[in-house]
Amino acid sequence: MDSELVTASESDTGRKGRKPSSLTEYFETLCPYYIAAGMSYDQFWNGDSTIARAYRKAHELQTENQNFYLWLQGRYFYDALVCVAPIVRALSKAKKPIEYHDQPFQLNTTYSEVRQKQKEKANDTKAKQMMEAFATQFNKKFLEKKGG
């Protein structure tokens, strides 16, 4: 299952979508997004305009972290189900559940590392498929040449 990171949409952050007719319209469209990201109304309209960058980046990191912890929760839940699975199966002879982790997972990885590994794996698969396709084509041509 491919999991896409839940972030504000492109149109929410104002990078894409219908072109606004004025800067005011643009600001008014984006103001709620930045307020949701933690900026005050006064900061957005009257404050140093560069602060918005920090708020946007912080909001992206926050969303990424939130997504990571939701994923982690899913992992714990999955493991818990695996542990109790033997005793909830009707025909199982097991009388005891598998012992659950006595300690939490060691968090020595960040969400972006997980995403990086997923990307690398996907790239490896793609490269393998391309190589296989190339080999098949080469063999086909070789056989045709040999036959003809």
Partner 1 sequence: MAKQLTFTFEGKEYTLEFTRATVRQMESSGFIASDIETKPMTILPDLFRGAFLAHHRFEKASVIDAIYAQMTNKPALIEALAEMYNEPISTLLDEPETGNVEWTPNW
Closest CB to partner 1 among residues 80, 114: 114
Angle between helices 51-88 and 23-36 (to 10 degrees): 40
Binder to partner 1 among 12, 14, 35, 114 (CB under 8 A)?
A: 14
CB of 130 vs partner 1, minimal distance in Å = 23
Amino acid at 42: D
Amino acid identity for residue 87 in this structure: I
Q: Which is nearer to partner 1, 19 or 146 (CB)?
A: 19
- The DSSP call for residue 37 is T
**Rounded least distance, CB 64 to partner 1, Å:** 12
In the range 55-114, which residues lie near partner 1 by CB under 8 A? 56
Q: Which residue type is seen at 83?
A: C
Please pick, from the candidates 23, 90, 91, 107, the single residue that binds partner 1 as defined by CB under 8 A: 23
- Is residue 22 at the binding interface for partner 1, with CB under 8 A as the rule? yes
Answer for which of 3, 11, 49, 118 binds partner 1 (CB under 8 A) is 49
For residues 18 and 37, the answer to whether their CB atoms sit within 8 Å is no
Residue 122 interacts with partner 1 (CB under 8 A): yes or no:
no
CB-based burial, 96-135: b 16+ in 10 Å, e otherwise: eeeeeeeeeeeeeeebeeeeeeeeeeeeeeeeeeeeeeee
Name residue, tokens 């794996």: 121
Given the complex with partner 1, which of 26 and 142 has the nearer CB atom? 26
Binding segment (CB under 8 A) for partner 1, from list 40-48, 79-87, 99-107, 126-134: 40-48
